[in-house]
Amino acid sequence: MKISVVDSLVSSIIVSRELEYIILDRTLHILESSSNSARFSEFPEAVTIGRDVRVGFPELCGTEDIIESIARGDCQNFKLQSLAKHNPKTAEICYVDLYIGYVPAETVSERRIILLLEDTTEQSSIQQKLFQKVNESSLLETAWSESQAYLNKIINSMADALIVTDGEGIIKKINPAARSMFGYGERDPIDRPISMLSPEFDRLPKSSQTSNSSVDLFRDIEISCTTQAGKNIIVSFSCSQLKTEFSDVPDLVYLGKDITKRVRSQARLLKSLEKEKKLNEFKSNFVSAISSEIRTPLNTLLLASELLKDIHREERDEIVKSIEVNVRRLAQIVEDVLTIAQTEMATDSPGADCVDVTRCCREIVNQIQLGLGDSQRLKFVETDPIEVSIDLKIVEYILTNLIGNVIKYSLSNIEISVKRDRFDRELFLEVFDPDYYLPREERENLLSANNTSNLSGMGLELALVQKYVEIHGGRIELESQVGTGTVFRVVLPVSSYTIGDR
């Protein structure tokens, strides 16, 4: 075969792509080759005319049938890509693409085989680097996916609420615990402001001056929140800002724990402690007051007993009368102490009967008036009969002690009245002194449930009234103005009552 034939067929391709070539006969022996074709063989000395090409290029071993089918025209061409070749002189590795074709001839038997050799070292290196980058990216993507899945498992298994917002407070992520805590099972709070949970979030810090990527803004702040169902809960929130490479404004990460039960338990405990403290103060002051109340009649009795030794008979009757009065006073004090003790231990409301409160109160006022004589006048304001389902003993004791407390310091006539509210649900027992004024500080002190600091001055009556009213579920109201007088009002709830002849 003449080189001119090769040139006419492949010279343009060879020159343009810088290819080397080798022409073979049908037995794969070299007939012709380009000057630099041997550089692609690991055995360059074997790439000479007349030698079997398979010695220089062992990769062709096993391809004989393919090459023969190409020579017959059954197959157009064949290609071996990226063959790694080690240059023994330079110790370098190059990569070669080997194309197998045939040189056209007049007959099939005259056809020759042509090998085209192309140096693809640079291209293969780029492909290898690209493949390596793809592998690295794939590994990074896999690692990132696994990290995200691991992080999501941690977040989703947290018992505490986790809420992530942007710098403006718009919710970006919320875990199942937060959805459950605030009642967002199906409704998605994503892209909504966190202030919908509580307006207090708008007043909390949202940034820090530090350049750290993560910093705590606040810890364990109690916030009153509202669930989707409108229920109020108390949540202890901590917040950190988290700076990312994707935004200059850091995200905010909130961690919340529902402490509603704990706060309410603490409130109940504090209330119990305060109640116990007041009770202890009450007992201490009560003992002091009782001591003062008892000391006066005892001193009177001692003095009277001493006087009896040295006085005449005509003066003795008056002293005996004084002794009798003070003994009764002591007996009443003891009775009052026992009553208060029983009241403290009472757990059930006393039994109730249907009574005419108007008539009962009138009789009580008349009995007290008989004991007063003409020194003071009690005026009962008449009203229509009011029949109430209530314990008569409570009404009697409340009214007696309330009147007794007022008349000790009143110099004018006192008015007593029984009234009802417009809805027939409450009963009012009022004792009115038109001339007596009680300053605001003393009023507030008197109406304190555990106050006994003024018992020696005001007597035990008001303390007893307060306790009895509390047992019956009522309350005491006190109104006092200069020039108009003072009203003690006891308000008692009633189950039913009938107004006769209105």
More confident residue, 270 or 321: 270
Q: Give the model's pLDDT for residue 209.
A: 53
Q: Nearest to residue 450, comparing CAs of 431, 474, 433, 470?
A: 470
pLDDT at 19: 86
Question: Which residue, 202, 211, 214, 148, is CA-closest to 170?
Answer: 202
What does the pLDDT read at residue 457?
Answer: 44
Instruction: Round to whole Å and give the CA distance between 124 and 132.
Output: 12
Q: Which pLDDT score is estimated for 125?
A: 84
**pLDDT over 70 at 240, yes or no:** yes
Average pLDDT over residues 354-372: 85
Angle between the N-to-C axes of helices 392-407 and 461-471, in degrees from 0 to 180, rounded to the nearest 10: 150
Q: Examine the pLDDT at 231 and tell me if it is beyond 50.
A: yes
- The structure's pTM equals 0.43
Range among 83-87, 334-338, 347-351 rated most confident: 83-87
| Helix, coil or strand: residue 372 | helix
Is residue 459 pLDDT above 60, yes or no?
Answer: no
C-alpha dihedral (209, 214, 219, 223), degrees to nearest 10: 90
Domains of the chain in start order, with CATH, are: 3-119 (3.30.450.20), 158-258 (3.30.450.20), 266-345 (1.10.287.130), 353-499 (3.30.565.10)
- pLDDT at position 49: 93
193 burial via Cβ count (<10 Å: 0-12, 13-18, 19+): middle
Q: Bigger pLDDT: 443 or 101?
A: 101
| pLDDT band at 8; cut points 50, 70, 90 | very low
3-state secondary structure 387-409: EEEECHHHHHHHHHHHHHHHHCC
pLDDT of residue 27: 92
Residue 449 contacts residue 471 (beta carbons within 8 Å): no
Question: Do 351 and 472 form a contact (C-beta atoms < 8 A)?
Answer: no
Asked if pLDDT for residue 502 goes beyond 50, the answer is no
Q: What is the mean pLDDT of residues 228-237?
A: 90
Output the pLDDT for position 341: 61
Determine the 3-state secondary structure of 246 from DSSP. coil
Residue 412 has pLDDT above 90, yes or no: no
Return the minimum-mean-pLDDT range out of 70-79, 87-96, 327-336. 327-336
Q: Please, which pLDDT band fits residue 53 given cuts at 50, 70 and 90?
A: very high
> Strand (E) positions, 276-406?
353-356, 378-381, 386-390
Banded pLDDT at 302 (limits 50, 70, 90): confident
pLDDT surpasses 70 at 11: no
Taking 60 as the threshold, does the pLDDT of residue 479 lie above it?
A: yes
Query: What per-residue confidence (pLDDT) applies to 314?
Result: 65
The whole-angstrom separation of Cα 34 and Cα 41 is 13
Q: What is the predicted pLDDT for the residue at 352?
A: 61
Side-by-side strand order, sheet with 112-119:
30-33, 20-24, 112-119, 93-103, 78-86
Q: What percent of the chain lies above the pLDDT cut of 90?
A: 12
Mean pLDDT of 420-434: 84
